[in-house]
Amino acid sequence: MSNSLHCLCNIISPCRNELSGSILLIQWFFLSVAAILNFFRPVLVLFGIRAQVDLNEEDYNDTWIYMPDGNGEPQVAYLVEPPPDDNRNDGPQIIQFEYYESSKPSAPVVSNLLISDDDVLTTARFKRDTWAEMAEKFNPKLDTKILVHGWKSSTQSNSIKSIRGAYMQRGHINVFAINWKDQADNIYYLRPARYTVQVGRAVAKLIDLLVETKNADPKRIHLIGHSLGAHIMGYAGAYTKYRVGRITGLDPARPAFEDCIGPENHLDRTDGDFVDVIHSCAGFLGFKKPIAHIDFYPNGGNPPQPGCTELNQIFTGCSHGRSYEYYAESINSTKGFYAVPCNSLDEIKGKNCTGQKILMGDPVPHTAEGIYYLKTNSKPEFALGVAWLNL
């Protein structure tokens, strides 16, 4: 991992560990110098977008990487700072909150939020007219699911639509989807990575308003995020005034987060009453180490076919997106994703796990803890039920 990515979270402003301004400035200076010295390359044109580095295979996972968008299509992501004249995210930032009534399948009610990072503490402001309409339709007697996408995605991406659709099929539930597509749509990965804090604060603002104006029970609020979205939900859980009942991380993004010191810099078990994570591309695009109350490693953290470890296999399928596919299927699955406990990641690698089985995904028991292993099919339906335990 390159120096420009090492502990990015310690230079995100604001970080949950609230580092002093002088320390942030010093870190930013040295990391910027390192980025310039190590990664300055001739500018080239790739897909009509100005690039800062050559796409040499030997630099893969150092200065660039293939990362899937919200529809599972591989895209080039640059792991270096954007050029000085890259101003795609300058100016006022708008995030959209979409509310779906499960009892009335129709177009969502959309409320715009303006976020600002002019000060150390990011603020979020709802547009009053749309918030009033959204609040009127919200039902505090139902469970609430809040979904957020990752890099180069939107609420119209498969990562959101698949989960939202499964919950809408079940019915009798409040569903919110957070659209931060304008901030997420940047080929320079570090820029969207920094926005996870602001978006997380905006989600926290939504939670606070639901509790304070609609008497929502925070214990019935469930935050679900994919990739960068998983860390957004970690920030949301940390910044809201009310501790939420559950946070689910779907293959939390590894670049710029896993090497950070301290759980305050990424999703972890302290962010909610119960935190569960599905690791589907462990150690590559997603976190390798366990960070939640319960961490699932389907197929050892990779899909059975194809894998996420080989560069030439990225284009035939990416396991980073399998996490949300597994989760979406689990919501209404009749077979279920049964997993067994493991004592260590080495035990998972050796597939030597045995013990009391539990379900992964939506129906996971909230009393469970530890790391778990399971097998899946290589295509839908992914769930094998308990049959795989006899293979």
What domains are there in the chain, each with its CATH number? 94-374 (3.40.50.1820)
Band of residue 21 on the pLDDT scale cut at 50, 70, 90: very low
Res 43: pLDDT: 35
Other C-beta atoms lying within 10 Å of the C-beta of residue 60: 14
Q: Is 320 a catalytic residue?
A: yes
Element counts in the chain: helices (H) and strands (E): 8, 16
pLDDT, tens digit, for every residue of 324-351?
999 999 999 999 999 999 999 988 887 8
Q: Is 279 a catalytic residue?
A: no
Q: Which of 120-124, 182-186, 315-319 has the highest mean pLDDT?
A: 182-186
**pTM for the complete prediction?**
0.85
Q: ∠ CA(344), CA(349), CA(351), 5° rounding?
A: 90
Other C-beta atoms lying within 10 Å of the C-beta of residue 390: 5
179 contacts 155 by C-beta, under 8 angstroms: yes
Cis peptide before 306 (omega within 30 of 0): yes
Q: What gap in Å lies between CA 57 and CA 307, rounded to an integer?
A: 18
266, 268, 320, 362: which one is catalytic?
A: 320
218 contacts 243 by C-beta, under 8 angstroms: yes
Residues 6+ apart with CB under 8 A from 390: none
2, 111, 227, 319: which one is catalytic?
A: 227
Band of residue 302 on the pLDDT scale cut at 50, 70, 90: confident
Longest Cα–Cα distance of the chain, Å, equals: 58
Res 336: pLDDT: 97
Interhelix angle 128-137/190-214, nearest 10 degrees: 60
Task: Name which of 23-37, 108-122, 163-177, 292-306 the model is least confident about.
Answer: 23-37
Res 25: pLDDT: 40
Res 225: pLDDT: 98
Q: What gap in Å lies between CA 179 and CA 242, rounded to an integer?
A: 22
Mean pLDDT (the chain) is: 81
143, 251, 271, 295: which one is catalytic?
A: 251
pLDDT, tens digit, for every residue of 91-129?
568 899 999 987 666 789 888 888 765 443 445 566 666
Identity at 336, one-letter amino acid code: G
Higher pLDDT, 193 or 85: 193
Q: Is 157 a catalytic residue?
A: no
Q: What gap in Å lies between CA 172 and CA 223, rounded to an integer?
A: 17
